[in-house]
Structure 1
Amino acid sequence: MWHFYMGRDLDNEKFKEKLASAASMPKDVVLGAAVVTIVGCQEVCIENYRGIIEYTDVLIRVQTKGCQIRLQGKNLQIEYYTNDEMKITGRICSLEYCK
């Protein structure tokens, strides 16, 4: 017998993760999780983002479904962005995930 608890975000996320794993589906598709691709220290691509919170040449903050991504560096610029993907270039010194 299966028991499902609705209304709890954590239980719902765990269920979705198990479902994605069982169905061999990518977690970014099922969970809407951000996909971050780092190429060296000069390029970052972020998929499944929700919005740009702050944008300067030393700091870029991006909101995703589950957290905020904070990039610090020098000469940072958003090379391009679409509704669900962006490419950031410059000298990337740090990338952190914040709640």
Structure 2
Amino acid sequence: MKYNLRAIMLRAWKNYRKMQLSFAECLHRAWLSAKAEEVNTKRIENAKAAAGIIEDTNTWSGWKQLGYEVIHGSRALFGAELIWGSKGDGAVYKARFFGRSQVQEIATA
């Protein structure tokens, strides 16, 4: 697999400036995150297929970044255990995914 070295270095520098860590540690974490992306994508696809979901899905924060909010009371369509490489320990966390039918555009004043 080919990795986007530019994106990895940008993430390492961003973390170096933001956190009180050595650059070597930030670079290590950036590589862990890059390697975890492929695994996480496969896990999401498998969980989505197992749940029989065909609509566009994203996490709560993912929808928010796209300018949508999850409608209050909506339940996640499925979940997946993903690797979080940015902490440096390869910890696993549970992510919940909501469908396009469960979100609305964020109202602007």
TM surpasses 0.5? no
Which structure dedicates a bigger proportion of its chain to strand?
Answer: 1
RCO (CA 8 Å, sep 6+): is it higher in 1 or 2?
Answer: 2
Higher helix share: 2
With structure 2 as the length reference, what TM-score do the two structures score? 0.27
